Amino acid sequence: MTTLRTEALILRAVDFRESDRILHLLLPGFGRMAVIARGARRSIKRFAGTLDLFNHLRVQIDQRRSSNMGRLDQAQLVRGFAALRVDPVRFAMGCYLLELLDRLAPEGGSPDDMRRLFDFALQALESVSARRPDQQLRTILELRALAALGLRPELARCVRCGAGLGAGAEVDFHVAEGGPVCGRCAARLTGLLRIHLGTLRALEQGLRLDLERLDRLILAPGALEEARSLVDRFQRFHVGVELRSQRFLEQMLPARGALGPLSAVHGRSGPPS
């Protein structure tokens, strides 16, 4: 048996048997791990107030070689992200991000990648705490989550041959290939999505900016619509099913077309607004 002492973020929590709780944790240096917290619902003292969604913890886990599920031995709360529990829009966005990570985070990924993924998860919850999510923040956070999971789409050149994307206003995007394709490569593909280069540039910026500075990026309604549709298809392609929290999030976020004051960040090749 080995004992693991590390930080953890709770991605999912399910009651199990009479008094236990099964948790899906994201661990820096490891990735996703399922653990059982025995007696979690019987003993008030042992894990008091620590085993809820969004909680950033310091944990001690016992791992037996014979079992692929660890046993949670101790948990201390580092941060609770309280703002995500009291506001339904923040809550919906937080649940959506956790579910995406729970679906796609590997068990036992490379330590450096998993540390980056863990840091991303904390920063994303932080930015949802600091700013009430709208469709744009949702789109950028979702794209960044996919990038942190190693699924960053190509946005700047042909994903098949590496050629530049030319000077046209629009380009074809192939979701399964994971990026735009030049005219020559597009001729051999089906299922292409027409997208403005300005939208791809805005998404590129959304990936590059510090999360605290994301409010500097303002997508025009037309670009946001395109970006939303692109990221949505990309996410569905990788997840394979509709996330359980997706409908709830759609209900909570302001409808498209009611996005508030927006201005274009694009140059002359930007999409219509």
Instruction: Please give the residue ranges that form the binding site for Zn ion (CB under 5 A).
Output: 158, 160-161, 163, 182, 185
- AA letter at 89: V
**Minimum gap (Å) between residue 195 Cβ and Zn ion:** 15
Record the tokens describing residue 258, joined without a space.
């009611």
237 is written with which tokens? 């392609």
* Min separation Cβ 190 and Zn ion, Å: 15
Give the residue with the Cβ less far from Zn ion, 59 or 158.
Answer: 158
Please state the φ and ψ torsions of residue 11, each to the nearest 5 degrees. Answer: -95, -30
Measured from the CB of residue 104, what is the shortest distance to Zn ion in angstroms?
27
As a whole number of angstroms, the distance between CA 192 and CA 160 comes to 13
In whole angstroms, what is the distance from residue 54 CA to residue 10 CA? 6
- Give the SS3 label for residue 230: helix
- Shortest spacing between CB 158 and Zn ion, in angstroms: 3
| Residue placing its CB nearer to Zn ion in the complex, 194 or 213 | 194
Nearer to Zn ion, 21 or 160 (CB): 160
Among residues 1 and 189, whose Cβ is nearest to Zn ion? 189
Smallest separation (angstroms) from Zn ion to the CB of 197: 15
Contacts of 195 (CB under 8 A, 6+ apart): 170, 171, 172, 173, 180, 226, 230
In the numeric block, the tokens 């380009």 are attached to 171
Q: Quick one: 103 or 160, whose CB is closer to Zn ion?
A: 160
Sign of CA dihedral 54, 56, 57, 61: positive
> Which tokens hold the place of 95?
């649940």
